[in-house]
Structure 1
Amino acid sequence: MNHGRNPNPPRAARSRCARELAGLIALALLLASVTPPPAGAAKAEKGKAKSAPAAKAKPAAAPKHTGLETLEKQVRSFTIANGLQFILVERHDAPVFSFATVVNAGAANDQIGTTGIAHMMEHMSFKGTEIVGTKDYVGEAPLLADEEKGWDALIAERRKGVKADSVRLAALDVSFKKAQEQAREKVVSNGYTTVIEQNGGRGVNAFTSNDATVYFYSLPSNRFELWALMEGGRMAHPVFREFYKERDVVYEERRLRYESSPTGRLFLEFVTAAFQAHP
């Protein structure tokens, strides 16, 4: 019996040796491919990089001039004798001046029972004065008074609720509408806006926010005196002609923006919940 090494190893052993040999050959090839270059070659590359000329930096772009750099210095503020404050910026690029009259009152100033009065005042400011928007103010004034009396009588009867006299209500309604028609005969419709536009005015408009009511438009510079007359007149001496007609317009705007709009109704509910009281 031979107790020495078998000169012919099994097939599995031979296969394992072949795989180990192939792995060693592959490792040797991999190491050969990543062998670092000689030290001299690295120094040569470094010297070449130092000798290359540096790229020229691009000059910084010149700052753009918009004409607004000195705007703050151009602003002037002053108050005239009647307490009206002006904030003025003169720019003579075009013979036009634009303005915004800012009234320090808005929807937040409406009191309980007078919701919408700030918005109503915005609309009424376009109805004119004793000299603008009327054919004959001397004849118009008593008709406006009759219109007010007719409304007072009608609303007083309505407030009786179920005790109101239906026949009297119908008669008062007819009387009130007749007073409206008579007063309207003296009105120059859109008279205020027409005067401005006939003199080159553009962008005649206004808006009411929570904290302010703002009126604005533009006119040629040579109509500045006209602007002062028109703006001062409607602020100091307005005539509330076509009041009830304009009230219905304000009602409709509210219905359109809020009551008939899902997002508008959501906004009102949100504001009511968020601001349960205000100064």
Structure 2
Amino acid sequence: MSSNMSPNTPAKKQYEFPPQQDHIIQPSEDDVAISMLGNRVYVSAPERKQFQHVWLWESDYTDDTTTSFKPGTQGPGVSTQSPLPAHTELQPHDMATEMLEIGLVFASDPSRFHDEVKGQTSRSKSRQIARDKRGIMTRDHRWFRAYIKVTDYIQSQAKVSVGCLLFDGHLRHITTEIGHVFFYKEFYPGASIENVKEKSAYMRQAIKFYSAKIKRPQPKPGAGETTSMASQALVPEVAVAGDPMDPVQMEDQLPPYDNNDSVSNFLAFDKNITLDDEDMANLIEIVQVNT
């Protein structure tokens, strides 16, 4: 248990999410993206597919190695994109990363509508007044699409990106803050959740849930599995059993051992014997020393 956690610390609330629907937004359908603080913008992308997967270049695909989004060098002044993914973005590519499209970012000034939530203060009331005055904003060329990486299991952190700098038919994804994102309605909680912090927690969990192919966290290997994985990584050919030529193959594929008694004993090892943890550790040490 972490030093700053106590036995009485409440566990994070886990939300349940509906099954993913392959829905296409119709021209007559309302489609509004909402930030964690309740700011809103019209998506204005008829025929948008909910839970859309695209393939984008890594941030270092070109000579520019910037890892976090910079409006001055990657924003609307130097980069453009269409409201919907281009055909090439929808095509898998060996050099590209599969991403889930989650919303929009005001790319000319990502932090403009974002402020830290610190409870229900006069400051938050002033933000509410400003939101009401703005109403639902209109999307223009300054709004870029936002993404999260698709993973095998539910990832531990919700790291989000902005798509920018179209190159060879694919955008690049560059990291931004999650508070800058206006989320599509498929990731936004219903009216039953009113608290700002709960809405924020819901959306973080939602994008991690829907971007995972397997809807659970990656299992942690036990001690036995860890030892097994280490031994397989060091001596993969030795781990294959059942071939009558195994003794010859093992000796041929091991490094020269210059009459080392330890390695000689290993080559004479009876594979019907089950190794305990100490023996396995000794085996790994022998191979490492003589590699």
The verdict on a shared fold, with TM-score over 0.5 as the criterion, is no
| Structure with greater strand percent | 2
Q: TM-score range by the shorter chain?
A: under 0.3
Flag the structure with larger Rg: 1
| Structure with greater helix percent | 1
TM-score (norm 1): 0.24
TM-score (norm 2): 0.23
